[in-house]
Structure 1
């Protein structure tokens, strides 16, 4: 911590003190520090390994783009490290959803989905700028945009089924290949990458996004799927009240349709969302199933209440088994529910506390 604070102080040419560890991750260390003039800043240093270096390049470039997030104050490519504006301690969408005020939770959901839609819509001319900025901060690790992660996760799912001695439904490889190809041709929008409920602040000035470690341009459907699933890759996953997912999805869609008019066509929109649900379900299955094979555990190390990892996977498989457009994939989900989840005997996914405590 001392070396991180010293490096950041040198960048800003001012003394930094009172560092507070904000948690970070295995990829990064995040500190809140006080400058000599009394201002609070956030210092973020990245691990010297592939995931950390990729996160640094994405976050430095994404914040430099200036479309969303805190103001970037300084960057040190050698450490690597960046210093950014401190947005304070306003509540997040996760706080609202885990709270006890359904009205506040509803408004927070709509603020979040509209904000993401506006960001995607307002960024369409800035893709080349992000690529140029990422090249400036590149540390030799391919970005998420450069990786064919949808196709790679599909290969991972087939390997997972084989390792578990589960039959691969006929047509599954072809379906997954077609989905990956179609997602690669989708309309694009900028995203911080990890748009989960805790990675934003609901400030008096509106939505402020944080955590740009996966910042990129991606299919707008991949972002929109966070509304329908909900929160495709997150820990803060419970059931939304009837009609709520559609309401927040429509708020996102209304924004992106201003720049992509074809998305007003229901057939185009819903087909894109269904492909994205497949992609995220495969992604989370490959990421989590090995971790849950021996024992279950909470989906977040400190926040409560949260679902268990087995609950989360079961919920995803239950949702995806209804995708009749992809019969082999839907059968794969039913197979996992029969052969894997049935042995877990986890309780059904409950509703979000904000809508069940009222």
Structure 2
């Protein structure tokens, strides 16, 4: 284990020599230290040598620079970089415990982050990628494995959904993993960290996290309905103030897209390895605050309710019926499944 942050000659000449370095907890994909430069606390992050490390590093640096346009800030200041060593030096942000209704602050900052970019930034980051034909196949196969026959026309609905959520629309600066823990709550607002999966796309993709249960996060939660409504309202108000445009009212497509993503049932390191939806009938597994079956039941309930509501449109009526039937089948087979936790642990 490396005990000191990797600081090359160029960083030392620009920023000085780090002192009082201490390793911080981080994902397996990075090493992170808190240190001091001339008495000022900083964070040093190095992406470890691994597949796609260079791409993840480039995404993070680019996203931090794009997000630095926002004032008051929604990210720590980027003080220095060493691309050869994949090192970033960041302003140290002193986080504090979030409020009980923390998702309102989270959603407000998320809207400001999303509004940092526009059409002129096309190509600065990869476009967000939506669900694929393989995702749709896996979901329909899971339904059949649970004894649920998909209604006629569902396959066409899913193909149309994939076309609509192809990632080609929208220019919002997407965090890529806007989870509890990647948001530092401060006296002046939330600041986001860890942009290794940043992309450009439709901000609804990440606003949907609040309803669908934070799909890429170890901390899957379901805010109380009143808090959820307040958080979504705060996002829409903030987005309009920043851009002069309105956020579409309907989140059904965005939530349905997350329902189909079996990879959103496992940590990042396990994605793209196997068909995780296919494994659910035979086994369950815990990731963070919930099991995979808990997560999926929550998503199924969310999508079935949204498609039944007046503002859900009619484009996914068959999927809504299927989601309700699969959820009922899961609760019948595994009656002890509990709802997602209401609050951040």
After TM superposition, the score normalised by the length of structure 1 is 0.75
Name which of structure 1's ranges 22-31 and 180-189 shifts more when overlaid on structure 2. Answer: 180-189
- Could you say if the C-alpha distance between residues 200 and 9 of structure 1 is closer, same or farther in structure 2, counting changes exceeding 3 Å? farther
Q: Name 2:100's counterpart in structure 1.
A: 105
Q: Is the 8 A contact 2:212 2:298 kept in 1?
A: no
1:155 maps to what in 2?
134
Output the CA distance in 2 between the equivalents of 1:280 and 1:49.
27
Cα distance in 1 between the residues matched to 2:195 and 2:93: 14
Deviation at 1:279, TM superposition (A): 0.9
Partner of 1:197: 180
Q: Does 1:170 align with 2:152?
A: yes
Deviations 1:157-201 (A, max 9, x none): 414644786355533332222223223464432132221122111
On the 8 A contact 2:117/2:173 being kept in 1, the answer is yes
Tell me by how many angstroms 1:278 deviates.
0.6
Q: How does 1:133-148 map to 2 (within 5 A)?
A: 143=126, 145=127
Describe the shift of the 1:281–1:45 C-alpha distance in structure 2 as closer, same or farther (beyond 3 A).
same
1:6 aligns with 2:15: no
Cα distance, 1:62–1:4 mapped onto 2, change above 3 Å: farther
SS at match of 2:115: helix
Listed one character per residue, the Cα deviations across residues 297-328 of structure 1 (whole Å, up to 9, x for unaligned) are: 4332xxxxx23332222211222223243133
1:181 equivalenced with 2:169 (yes/no) = no
1:299 is the counterpart of 2:284: no
Counterpart of 1:274 in structure 2 is: 252
Displacement, 1:123? 2.9
SS at match of 1:6: coil
Question: Quick check: 2:4–2:21 contact (8 Å CA) kept in 1?
Answer: no
Q: 2-side partners of 1:45 and 1:354: how far apart?
A: 28
Please provide the CA RMSD for this pair. 3.1
Corresponding residue SS for 2:54: helix
1:352 to 1:262, Cα distance in 2 relative to 1, 3 A = closer
1:12-31 maps to which residues of 2 (within 5 A)?
12-13=12-13, 14-31=16-33
Assess, with a 3 A threshold, how the Cα gap between structure 1 residues 224 and 163 changes in structure 2: closer, same or farther.
closer
Question: Cα 1:158–1:243, aligned 2, differ >3 Å: closer, same or farther?
Answer: same
Decide which structure has greater helix share.
1
Closer, same or farther in 2 for the Cα pair 1:227/1:8, shift >3 Å?
farther
In the comparison of the two structures, how many residue pairs are matched?
A: 316
Matching of residues 184-263 of structure 1 within 5 Å: 184=167, 186-258=169-241, 259=243, 261-263=245-247
Q: Answer whether contact 2:176 2:199 (CA < 8 A) is retained.
A: yes
Structure 2 distance, partners of 1:350, 1:191, is: 25
How far apart are the structure 2 equivalents of 1:85 and 1:22? 15
1:327 to 2:304 alignment: no
Gaps of 5+ in 2: 267-275, 309-313
Secondary structure, counterpart of 1:243 in structure 2: helix
Comparing 318-327 with 273-282, greater Cα deviation is found at: 318-327
The 1:8–1:43 alpha-carbon spacing in structure 2 relative to 1, beyond 3 Å, is farther
The 8 Å contact of residues 294 and 340 in structure 2, kept in 1 or not, is answered as no
Report deviation, 1:62.
Answer: 0.7
Q: Is the 8 A contact 1:27 1:55 kept in 2?
A: no
CA distance in 2 between counterparts of 1:247 and 1:295 reads 37
Over residues 204-250 of structure 1, what are the superposed CA-to-partner deviations in whole Å (9 max), with x where a residue is unaligned? 22221111112222102112212333434323233322322111111
Q: Using the alignment, how far apart are the partners of 2:203 and 2:40 within structure 1?
A: 37
| Partner in structure 1 of residue 115 of structure 2 | 121
Could you say if the C-alpha distance between residues 354 and 334 of structure 1 is closer, same or farther in structure 2, counting changes exceeding 3 Å?
A: closer
